[in-house]
């Protein structure tokens, strides 16, 4: 669970170098459940591309794990997300999303974003 906390801290602070050092080179970031710009990002370059896309749209954006839950080799982070739109200044707060991290050998190997926490719990094997 500590590695996922470290990854969220690096992501939220904008320290991409720290995030990339934590993640496996084959890291897979699955954001296909997003409403806008659903995509899957591969490897360290994918992490950079994802972060650049977020920064193009948002002046600030954070993903704060409220309830990290462990399941086998996964950590499910139930999230509180906040953001402020670049240019528009529109502020956003969401509490219904989640990120399911796969961790192998103390390295995150993938992350899958869910808009629906119930689906994330099911995918993590924490709810039938």
DSSP one-letter string for 36-91: SS--EEEHHHHHHHHHHHHHHHEEEEEEEEEEEEEETTEEEEEEEEEEEETTT--E
What confidence tens digit (pLDDT) does each residue in 10-52 have? 999 999 999 999 999 999 999 999 887 899 999 999 999 999 9
| 78 inside domain | yes
Provide the pLDDT confidence category of residue 128 given band limits of 50, 70 and 90.
Answer: low
25 domain-assigned:
yes
Look at strands 28-30 and 107-114 and give their pairing.
Answer: parallel
Task: Render pLDDT for 77-108 as a digit per residue (tens, 0 to 9).
Answer: 999 999 999 999 999 998 889 999 999 988 99
Q: Is residue 128 part of a domain?
A: no
- Enter the pTM of the model: 0.90
pLDDT of residue 126: 83
Please state, in angstroms and rounded to a whole number, the distance separating the CA atoms of residues 18 and 35: 28
Supply the pLDDT for residue 61: 92
The whole-number average pLDDT for the span 43-66 is 93
CATH of the domain at 34: 3.10.450.50
Counting the structural domains of the chain, the total is 1
Residue 57 lies in a domain: yes
Mean predicted confidence (pLDDT) in 74-78: 93
Among 35-39, 52-56, 113-117, 120-124, where is mean pLDDT lowest? 35-39
CB atoms inside a 10 Å sphere around CB 100: 22
In terms of residue numbers, what domain contains 116? 2-123
């Amino acid at each position: 669970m500590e590695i996922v906390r470290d990854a969220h801290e690096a992501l939220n602070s904008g320290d991409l170098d720290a995030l990339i050092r934590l993640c496996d080179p084959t890291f897979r970031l699955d954001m296909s459940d997003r409403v806008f710009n659903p995509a899957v990002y591969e490897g360290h370059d994918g992490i950079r591309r994802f972060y650049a896309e977020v920064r193009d749209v948002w002046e600030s954006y954070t993903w704060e794990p409220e309830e990290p839950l462990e399941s086998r080799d996964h950590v499910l982070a139930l999230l509180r997300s906040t953001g402020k739109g670049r240019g528009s200044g529109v502020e956003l707060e969401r509490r219904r999303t989640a990120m399911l991290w796969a961790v192998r050998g103390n390295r995150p190997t993938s992350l899958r974003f869910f808009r629906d926490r119930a689906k994330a719990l099911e995918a993590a094997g924490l709810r039938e």
